[in-house]
Amino acid sequence: MSALVRRLIDRWRKTPQGEPKIKKGLPFTRLKHTEEMFFETEFFKYNAKPQYLIHYWLEQQGLTKTPKWSCTCPDFVNRKGPQHKMCKHCQAVAMLARANTSPFIAKHLRVLTKDIYYKMIAMPIGQPLPILPNGAPTKRLRITIADSEPGYIAYISRRFICYTCGGPAGVQYLKGRQCKHIACYSKSLNDDDYKQYCHIMPTNMFRTAVQQQQRNTKTAWQRF
Ligand SMILES: [Zn+2]
Ligand SMILES: [Zn+2]
């Protein structure tokens, strides 16, 4: 495919825009007055998964405490992390924590409680979309994880979709992978603790809620 055609397709797909202010590849940085913090990020440019989780903490090494970072993005896991370098998500978190932020960062990052971070990191976020056993009925659910914007997911014709993360038809931006809402539902199938976040909805109420969320431009993909 030529570069021109690829650019046209990207424009047509409304590729999410990045934030040029975020530097990449800096060494692990220290956050002042903070021992530990937890964050989530949604839809950075070229995201391989719908959401990433970021953790900052201090680790005692001899007499000093050393700053440590982790992010669930492939760049961090495969490259930056082993070299003790910041990926763009860690860097964006550091900017947010230092109030050196931008509308892009404010839109895409959120502080999590420790409890919710560990609940989310146990979910299969970014894993391929699950297929339920043959004959599983159509489902429509609202997934509300702590105080975040609810996610509206459905299982229709043997396929999971999320209207909150996936785009107008619920699929495009998932790229075949589980967003936190679908991942939360998957997890609830074998861990009762996650059932508290999942609420089955009647079709008409579900449709109204999806339309309302889109009208209020509260979906993750409308933040691009
Ligand atoms: Zn990252
Ligand atoms: Zn979702």
Q: 193: Cβ–Cβ under 8 A, 6 or more apart, which residues? A: 119
Query: Which helix (H) or strand (E) segment is 183 a member of?
Result: helix 180-188
Mean pLDDT of all residues in 107-131: 95
CB 43 within 8 A of CB 13: no
Count of the separate structural domains present in the chain: 2
Measured in angstroms, how far is the CA atom of residue 168 from the centroid of ligand 1? 26
CB 25 within 8 A of CB 89: no
Tokens 């509260």 appear where? 218
Measured in angstroms, how far is the CA atom of residue 60 from the centroid of ligand 2? 37
Dig out the tokens for 39 from the structure. 């964050």
13 within some domain: no
Last residue of a domain, one of 95, 121, 147: 121
Dig out the tokens for 212 from the structure. 């309302």
Q: Are residues 92 and 155 in the same domain?
A: no
**Does the CA dihedral 19-21-25-27 come out positive or negative?**
negative
Measured in angstroms, how far is the CA atom of residue 165 from the centroid of ligand 2? 4
Measured in angstroms, how far is the CA atom of residue 40 from the centroid of ligand 1? 10
Q: Are residues 117 and 27 in the same domain?
A: yes
Measured in angstroms, how far is the CA atom of residue 183 from the centroid of ligand 1? 19
Domain that holds residue 153: 139-223
Please name which ligand lies nearest the alpha carbon of 77: 1
Q: Are residues 48 and 107 in the same domain?
A: yes
How much is the pLDDT for 106? 85
Residue 54, phi then psi, degrees to nearest 5: -125, 140
Measured in angstroms, how far is the CA atom of residue 69 from the centroid of ligand 2? 25
Q: Are residues 171 and 217 in the same domain?
A: yes
Q: Are residues 117 and 151 in the same domain?
A: no
Measured in angstroms, how far is the CA atom of residue 61 from the centroid of ligand 1? 24
Please name which ligand lies nearest the alpha carbon of 22: 1
pLDDT above 70 (res 13): no
Please name which ligand lies nearest the alpha carbon of 52: 1
How much is the pLDDT for 28? 95
175 within some domain: yes
Last residue of a domain, one of 121, 151, 168: 121
Last residue of a domain, one of 62, 92, 121: 121
Query: pTM for this structure?
Result: 0.88
Q: Are residues 113 and 143 in the same domain?
A: no
Q: Are residues 37 and 77 in the same domain?
A: yes
Mean pLDDT of all residues in 9-17: 56
Looking at the chain, the whole-number percentage of residues with pLDDT higher than 90 is 68
In this prediction, residue 154 has a pLDDT band, given cuts at 50, 70 and 90, of: very high
CA dihedral 82→118→140→199, nearest 10 degrees, is -170
How much is the pLDDT for 35? 92
In this prediction, residue 195 has a pLDDT band, given cuts at 50, 70 and 90, of: very high
Measured in angstroms, how far is the CA atom of residue 53 from the centroid of ligand 2? 15
Q: Are residues 25 and 116 in the same domain?
A: yes
Range scoring the smallest mean pLDDT among 21-25, 134-138, 158-162? 21-25
Measured in angstroms, how far is the CA atom of residue 21 from the centroid of ligand 2? 27
Q: Are residues 182 and 96 in the same domain?
A: no
25 within some domain: yes
pLDDT top residue among 185 and 11: 185
Q: Are residues 93 and 160 in the same domain?
A: no
199 within some domain: yes
Measured in angstroms, how far is the CA atom of residue 163 from the centroid of ligand 2? 7
How close are the terminal C-alpha atoms of the chain, in Å? 25
Tokens 């589980």 appear where? 178
pLDDT above 80 (res 188): yes
pLDDT digits (tens, 9 = 90+) for 123-147: 999 999 999 999 999 999 999 998 8
Measured in angstroms, how far is the CA atom of residue 28 from the centroid of ligand 2? 30
CB 125 within 8 A of CB 178: yes
